[in-house]
Structure 1
Amino acid sequence: MEITLDKHSANQASVKITLNEADYQPKVDAKVKEYARKANIKGFRPGKAPIAMVKKLYGTSVLVDEINGLLSSSLNDYLKSQTFRILGDPLPVIEDADKIDWANQKDFQFEYKIGFVDNLDINFDKSLNATSYSLEVDQATIDDAVSNLRRQYGSMTNPEESQEGDFIYGDLKEVNGDFEKTFSLPLSKVDGRSLKKFIGLKKGDIIEFDPSKSIKEDLAETVGVEEEEVEKLSGKFTFIVQNINRTEDAELNQELFDKVFGPGQVDSEEAFMEKVKAIMNDNYNREVKVFSDEKIKDTLIENVKIDLPEDFLKEWLLRANEGKVTSEQVEKEYPIYAKQLQWTIISNEIAKKNEIKAEHEEVIEKTKEMVREQFASSGMGAQLENSMDMFVDNYLQGNEGQNYMQMLTSVQNEKVLAHVKENIDLTEEVISIDKFKELIEN
């Protein structure tokens, strides 16, 4: 057997493997003999068919299987012995596959394309600058959240007269046509110029308006028709009021506190406001942390400047997902994939160099945190903790073990980022929600 490497560029190469008869024939003969001992061929007792007949029936398929197995193990061993890091999987050059004469050929040559990165220089110190953001929710945002909770947990009433914010339930009829529809009209969807005629209505009142002009958004959804029927909602229509619905905000009392956070969790208006603030801070700061970490990753990627074999990777993505993606989709998604790959390479190299590993106990704890977040608003605190081990085991064993590996990688990445933050010039900045939205947009 002969294996040669031909580098075409700094990150792409081809590997050629030449096999002669001595490399594969002993294994082929052994496998044919094994077939002969088990073969059940018509006209012969089991295991008694002549070797020549078994070889004629199964020899070619055995040859193909053995050569494929030999190629796979030999190529893997060869690539593992190299100093560069292989990306994706080797791609067999298949243009000449149909020219192989499996019945008569003795010597074979196979070629594979590979993509790799080499000579990685991942260094960082206090000369590398990055910013870590945290967010403090302002009082106006907290007040809005409390107002929304009061509205969400409020009670429905049926006042005599309509006012802004109400829902008017009634029958819509076309004046010069046969279109009719009964629906609930939220006055928040009515255009400001038309709103006046909807205020002060009582049960049984009739008003006339043009839905296409008076309803300012989501006309089809608001009236409850298909998009293709929207054109029918233009012109003069009457609306007969059947009922007026209004949501009265819930009082800031113990009943609301228990509904929102569970019995006995909050016992005063002040504690309720603090709890809302703490939850909002936690939720926003989870998003801010993801944003900050991505920016630090970007800084590292820019600093390391990994030269990826773009053409090879695009071909590999297309062939590895054959039938599932198109060339156009690969082109569109490649920048995202390339960034993820660069970070994976950097993270693994930092972990290797600094002996950073994710421990099993850390994986368990991170999974518990994830489960708690998913059930945060369910009010199942005590029951959840009692069944936590079951939830964690079921999740980590799911997806044929892939969930565990993904969580293991996530823990290692977090430890790598923590190590990076300790060793670069990291500025910590507290920002507002508006500033955070501005950063995301930019």
Structure 2
Amino acid sequence: MEITLDKHSANQASVKIKLNEADYQPKVDAKLKDYARKATIKGFRPGKAPVSMVKRMYGTSVMVEEINNLLSTSLNDYLKSQTFRILGDPLPVIEDADKIDWNEQKEFEFQYKIGFVEDIKVNLDGSLKATSYSIKMDEKEVDNTIENLRSQYGKMTNPETSEENDFLYGDLKSEDASFEKTFSLPLSKVDKKSLKKFLGLKKGDTVTFEPSKTIKEDLASTIGITEEEAAELKGNFTFTVQNINRTELAELNQEFFDKLFGEGQVNSEEEMREKVRSIMSENYNKELKVFSDEKIKEKLIESAQIDLPESFLKEWLLKANEGKVTEDQVEKEYPIYAKQLAWTIISNAIAKENEIQAEHEDVIEKTKEMIREQFASSGLGAQLEASMDMFVDNYLKGNDGQNYMQMLTSVQNDKVLSFVKGKAAVKEEEISVDKFQDLLAN
């Protein structure tokens, strides 16, 4: 057997494997003898068929099977011995394989395309700068959230006349009668300049307006039509009111507090306000942590300058997901995949160099945290904790063990990021919700 590596570029190569008869024939002969001992062939007693007959019947298929096994083992062992990191899986050169004459050939040559990156070093000398954000909740945000909660838990009424923030249920018609649609119009989506004509309406009243100029956002989804249909809504339309719907805000009483947080958890308006503020801060800070971590990853990826074998990876992604994705989909999703792959390479390199390892106990704790978050609003509390081990065990065994491996990777990434932050120049900054939204937008 002869294996050779031909590097075409800094990240792509081909591997050629040459086999002669001595490499595979002993295993083929042994397999055929075993077949002969076990085979039941018409005209012969079990196990008494001549090996020569078994060879004529099964020789080619056994040879193909043994050569494929030999190729797989030899290629994997060879690639493991290299200093570079293989990306994806080796891709056989089909054109060469199609030329093989399995019945006549004694010597074979196979070729595979591979993509790789050389081992990388990540410099963590303190030059990496990062910002750790925390949220500063202002009273306006708390007020808005409480009002939304009161609206969600409020009582629906049908008043005589319309007011701001009501919903008008009725029929929208074009002047030429070519369009008609019954829907519920939220007055909160009506442009401020046009709102006056929608106030003080009663059942049976009709108002004339131009939808594209009056409904200030999400015209198609508000009316319940396609974007194409919405684009055709030109000129004046009439809207006839069938009903007026209004939500009366829930009262700030014990019943409302219990619905929100569970019985007896909050006993006053002040306690409720503090609880809402605390939950909002916690949720925003979780989002900010994710945002900050992503920015650190981006800086590490940028500084590492990993040269990925783009054309190879796109071909591999297409073949690995054959029938599930198109070339256009691979092309569109590749930047996201490449970013994640680059981070995985960097994370593994940092973990290896600094002996960072995810332990089983870490996986268990992270899984518990995830389950608690999922059931946070369920009110199960003590019942959940009593059955936590069962929930954790079921989750980690799910998806044929893939859940465990994903959680293990997540734990390692957390540890790597924590290590990186310890080496970086991290600046603490408290920001408002508006500033956070600006950060996300950019």
The alignment's TM-score, normalised by the length of structure 2, stands at 0.92
Q: Percent identity?
A: 73
User: Structure 1 residues 228, 7: CA separation in 2 closer, same or farther (over 3 Å shift)?
Assistant: closer
Partner of 1:95, secondary structure, is helix
Q: Secondary structure at the match of 2:37?
A: helix
- AA in 2 matched with 1:271: E
Aligned to 1:237: 238
TM-superposition CA deviations, 1:315-344 (whole Å, max 9, x none): 222222222223332222222222111111
**1:173-252 equivalence runs, <5 A:** 177=177, 183-203=183-203, 205-210=204-209, 212=211, 214-219=214-219, 221-224=221-224, 235=236, 237=238, 239=240, 241-252=241-252
Q: Look up the equivalent residue of 2:327 and give its one-letter code.
A: S
State the distance in 1 between where 2:439 and 2:233 align: 43
Q: Distance in 2 between matches of 1:173 and 1:120?
A: 66
Aligned to 2:316: 316
Shift of 1:192: 3.7
Classify 1:157/1:233 alpha carbon distance in 2 versus 1 (closer, same or farther; 3 Å).
farther
Deviations 1:114-154 (A, max 9, x none): 22222422221222222222222222111111111111111
1:34-433 alignment, distance < 5 Å = 34-170=34-170, 177=177, 183-203=183-203, 205-210=204-209, 212=211, 214-219=214-219, 221-224=221-224, 235=236, 237=238, 239=240, 241-433=241-433
Give, as a single letter, the amino acid of the residue that structure 2 aligns with 1:405: M
Q: C-alpha displacement at 1:157, in angstroms?
A: 2.3
Task: Name the SS of the counterpart of 1:96 in structure 2.
Answer: helix
Q: Which residue in 2 is equivalent to 1:30?
A: 30
Unpaired segments ≥5 residues, structure 2: none
Distance 1:61 1:17 in 2: 20
Cα distance in 1 for residues equivalent to 2:99 and 2:72 = 21
Checking the alignment, whether the CA contact within 8 Å between 1:357 and 1:412 is kept in structure 2 is yes
- Secondary structure of the structure 2 residue equivalent to 1:428: strand
Structure 1 unaligned spans of 5+: none
Decide whether aligned partners of structure 1 residues 125 and 177 sit closer, same or farther in structure 2, where only a CA change above 3 A counts.
closer
Distance in 1, matches of 2:301 and 2:178, equals 64
Cα offset, 1:242, TM superposition: 4.5
Residue matched to 1:436: 436
Measured in 2, the distance between the counterparts of 1:265 and 1:401 equals: 38
User: TM-score with structure 1 length normalisation?
Assistant: 0.92
* 1-structure distance, mates of 2:13, 2:229: 59
Say if 1:151 and 1:250, in contact at 8 Å, map to a contact too: yes
Aligned partner letter, 1:207: T
3-state SS of 1:41 partner: coil
Alignment coverage as a number of residue pairs: 440
Q: 1:391 to 1:82 in 2, by over 3 A?
A: same
Cα distance in structure 2, aligned partners of 1:358 and 1:165: 52
Deviation at 1:408, TM superposition (A): 0.3
Distance 1:407 1:242, change over 3 A: same
TM-aligned CA deviation for residue 211 of structure 1: 6.2
The verdict on how the C-alpha distance between 1:182 and 1:314 changes in structure 2, with shifts beyond 3 A counting, is closer
Question: 1:267 deviation in Å?
Answer: 1.1
